Amino acid sequence: MKTCKSSDGKSDGQEWIYTDIVKDHFLNPRNFLMGDESKFKADAVGLVGNPICGDQMKMFIKVKDDKIIDIAWKTYGCASAIASTSALSELAKGKTLDEALNITAKDIDNYLGNLPKHKFHCSILGHDALRDAIEKYRSGK
């Protein structure tokens, strides 16, 4: 954990509870779909949400020869939700559909250097959004 500092360099007593890699993925998300969704010609789209915390994740995949050749996403949620979806998109890109399905919420959490325990559910949501997209792709929906 890092202690937050004010502009004069003094500690304000608050702690940043995220790792540097979570911060990086939150501030510089990878594969984020900005703007019009129709411009990303996805083969399938997965959507999940958590009514308790309000997070929602949408995962767009392009598939060729059973591999995810491109991936994009949109997330409405906190820093953990955004970082988790960004990390997942990096982990899944270039993988076969089965390999991508085997990426677990714990894999995402490990990649990010561990989310706070009360934010672990964000990595589960990303995993579920990708699973939904793959299942829709396979079923032709």
Q: Which of 123, 7, 106, 139 is nearest to 57 (CA)?
A: 123
Task: Given the residues 17, 53, 78, 124, select the one marked as catalytic.
Answer: 53
Measure CA 110 to chain center.
13
Question: Tokens 């990878």 identify what position?
Answer: 30
CA-CA distance, 37 to 50, in Å (whole number)? 22
CA-CA distance, 131 to 15, in Å (whole number)? 34
Domains of the chain, each with CATH number or no CATH: 19-139 (3.90.1010.10)
pLDDT at 66: 97
pLDDT tens, 12-68?
A: 445 557 789 989 999 999 999 998 999 999 999 999 987 666 778 999 999 999 999
pTM of the model: 0.82
CA-CA distance, 108 to 120, in Å (whole number)? 9
CA-CA distance, 87 to 83, in Å (whole number)? 6
Rounded-to-10 torsion of CA 42, 46, 51, 53: -70
Known catalytic residue at 122: yes
Task: Given the residues 81, 87, 108, 122, select the one marked as catalytic.
Answer: 122
18-22, 70-74, 89-93: range with lowest mean pLDDT: 18-22
Average the pLDDT over 70-95 and give the result.
92
